[in-house]
Structure 1
């Protein structure tokens, strides 16, 4: 079975209304180094996509360009049909784009509940109102819903610093879910997790609402290929292949990349 090297050709039609994300010739250079080079593909609304590749393939840089943490050197980024190439990261968040990071970005001295509440308030109207919300406030109800969704009710009032690594990863996912996101980028959520915590992560990702699409970077293929519909393989900053999990898992060239045997 032949796998194409990109979802888009140079003559591709304009973005369809069903696409959550479209990248067109996206490049990010740091001096003479092109961390990602002429990357083009689209992700449909509600789609679950994995981006895989060996270390240094450009996966996290790609996420940084999608979220606006790094501006693209060239190319276009569209989010639900709107060109966001020059839109600041905080505005992309307000548009419904969320992400987690390889390194935890949590308020370790606050409780789990407080972290989730701050995430909810951060994407809500009136987020600069510093008055303590009453128990009946919609933000409190949204916080309770997130606690249940990421299965952290039992540790809701414990400080984050006392949580296991796996629970902290669950909390990060909960914070990314605040405010009904339209697309979430998960950057190696299974890193450092125990086998039991990995099973919990798979269950959590599978339980997300069907309309909520995500892209996951994950070195653990047993996890990545179990929770997505499509896979994009990157190599040396470029898109190498796309395919279904079954196609990618059985592809000898992809296996060679992970074993360090492929050369362009």
Structure 2
């Protein structure tokens, strides 16, 4: 697949990886990964456990610094930036490990996330109800289908609703690009269908990468797919091409995928 804008920082990609390699001792978790995602594009990264998907995410967020290669975010070289500098530029991620305040309400969690990424960080003054951040939080709660539960304590929510809340937190502060780390993990079929609706109805300008074990969820929310295998890119294409590709099916269905 031809990568647009190779070697041109102003090529208009939201995210550009060039030759990313990450070594752990003598082991390469990912090798020479080159990838471009346009603004507003929705990309799924698929592959079995150990394919390198999570390591790739950690290099994009700055949780890991790559051993070699380049990461650009909207044309800017962010390869060695710490995570908070990338967040400031509009990159967000969800974590598989819950990052929620269970003793606070849904609304308070989202409001605090909105405060945290706005300029006046965690001011303890009680907000006025017309506060723009309160309105932003209300909209996010609605976007992830939690309006009916907005005053409930997070610790009382069902697991699936907590995962929906994690999506809302990742969307706080008007991000330009979001990394979703297995958002469907542990969800029931009904909750998965709800998640697909939430992700497909995000504002068109927000691009994202979704790592997902559930190939069906991934293919329904993404325009394009990058398939990883043994730390390298194995195949890329449109969702419908990848779904019908015999090599992908062999790798996915023959590779012990069903047990997860």
TM-score between both structures, scaled by the size of structure 1: 0.93
- Indicate the RMSD between aligned Cα atoms, in angstroms: 1.5
Instruction: Check whether the contact 1:7–1:242 (CA below 8 A) recurs between aligned residues.
Output: no
Instruction: Check whether the contact 2:15–2:36 (CA below 8 A) recurs between aligned residues.
Output: yes
- Distance in structure 2 (CA, Å) of the matches to 1:180 and 1:186: 15
Aligned-partner SS, 2:40: coil
- Distance in structure 2 (CA, Å) of the matches to 1:205 and 1:93: 20
2:3 corresponding residue in structure 1: 7
Map 1:45-194; keep pairs closer than 5 Å.
45-194=39-188
- Distance in structure 1 (CA, Å) of the matches to 2:141 and 2:96: 22
Instruction: Check whether the contact 1:26–1:76 (CA below 8 A) recurs between aligned residues.
Output: yes
Instruction: Give the unaligned 5+ runs of structure 1.
Output: none
How much has 1:236 moved relative to structure 2?
A: 0.5
- Distance in structure 2 (CA, Å) of the matches to 1:131 and 1:71: 38
How much has 1:138 moved relative to structure 2?
A: 1.5
- Distance in structure 2 (CA, Å) of the matches to 1:128 and 1:199: 35
TM-score between both structures, scaled by the size of structure 2: 0.94
2:255 corresponding residue in structure 1: 260
Instruction: Check whether the contact 1:8–1:41 (CA below 8 A) recurs between aligned residues.
Output: no
User: Is the aligned partner of 1:23 residue 2:20?
Assistant: no
User: Is the aligned partner of 1:224 residue 2:218?
Assistant: yes
Instruction: Give the unaligned 5+ runs of structure 2.
Output: none
Number of paired residues? 255
- Distance in structure 2 (CA, Å) of the matches to 1:120 and 1:231: 31
- Distance in structure 2 (CA, Å) of the matches to 1:188 and 1:37: 22
Which region of structure 1 is more displaced relative to structure 2, 70-79 or 125-134?
125-134
Which region of structure 1 is more displaced relative to structure 2, 187-196 or 248-257?
248-257
Instruction: Check whether the contact 2:9–2:76 (CA below 8 A) recurs between aligned residues.
Output: no
2:190 corresponding residue in structure 1: 196
How much has 1:128 moved relative to structure 2?
A: 4.3
Aligned-partner SS, 1:107: coil
How much has 1:8 moved relative to structure 2?
A: 7.1
